[in-house]
Amino acid sequence: MPRTHAALPRLYVDHDLAGGTQLTLGKDQSLYLAAVLRKQVGDEVVLFNGRDGAWLCRLVSDSKKSVGLDIVERIAAQTPRSELWYGFAPLKTERLDYVIQKAVEMGAGTIQPVLTKFTQVSRLKHEKLVANATEAAEQCEVLTVPVVEQEMTLERLIDSWPADRKLVLADEGEAASSPIEALTALRGQKVGILIGPEGGFSDEERAKLRALPYVVPISLGPRILRADTAAVAALAVIQATIGDWR
């Protein structure tokens, strides 16, 4: 994304985006642009839809109920959704919003809540998680909104794990060591990362996971990290060694 458009508001829409066409925003986004940001006719915004790249658009009407936009020019070509899979045991409320936001910023393409024995929550408001992911995507200028899956149990995850993907397990029981070597060995392969709940994985869960051929346990250092810290640390070390930070 050229930095020249960095200051413009970015909105995710589910419309097709093509030059020379127009679109009218829904109530919420119109209110946000016209009332909150006080955008007026002639002002510019960037829209993306996860399929057609990012487009520079110009307001042709600025009613708080329905802002009209000219779709002017494509400023970033569409990129494929990230292959990085992020599995985590959901945390309570605001920390749950936090880990969703961090997973998007750190480049996850799929966000999978996993219910483990010590997971604190069992019912999730899926549409709220999707809204969080969408807002994070707008802010951090990704071109696709990561897919937030419905929660599933660890057993179901193991039963349905695809044969072509490695599962990096953030294992707090692993002897403190650098994960760089273990991760570098995965270069070029599809990977997922799994972070446990505040109470950690149960002994049975850890033993079961570590026995699986596609699981690669890693340490995230000598200290016990909070689950949301572990999420960012694990995603960072993966992106920096074998991910899209290069």
CB of 200 to ligand SAH, least distance (A): 2
Residue 65, helix vs strand vs coil: coil
**Cα radius of gyration rounded to whole Å, the chain:** 20
Q: Are 8 and 46 in contact (CB under 8 A)?
A: yes
Amino acid identity for residue 75 in this structure:
I
What does the alpha-carbon distance between residue 155 and residue 157 come to, in Å, rounded to a whole number? Answer: 5
Q: If binding means CB under 6 A, how many residues of this protein chain bind ligand SAH?
A: 18
Q: Are 134 and 12 in contact (CB under 8 A)?
A: yes
- Binding ligand SAH (rule: CB under 6 A), the pick from 170, 215, 216, 232 is 170
Q: Which of 145, 172, 162 is nearest to 226 (CA)?
A: 172
CB of 219 to ligand SAH, least distance (A): 5
- Binding ligand SAH (rule: CB under 6 A), the pick from 19, 26, 162, 199 is 199
Q: Decide: is 215 part of the binding site for ligand SAH (CB under 6 A).
A: no
Q: Decide: is 203 part of the binding site for ligand SAH (CB under 6 A).
A: no
- Binding ligand SAH (rule: CB under 6 A), the pick from 140, 207, 224, 240 is 224
- Binding ligand SAH (rule: CB under 6 A), the pick from 195, 215, 232, 242 is 195
Question: Rule CB under 6 A: which residues touch ligand SAH?
Answer: 170-172, 174, 195-196, 198-201, 219-221, 223-225, 227, 230
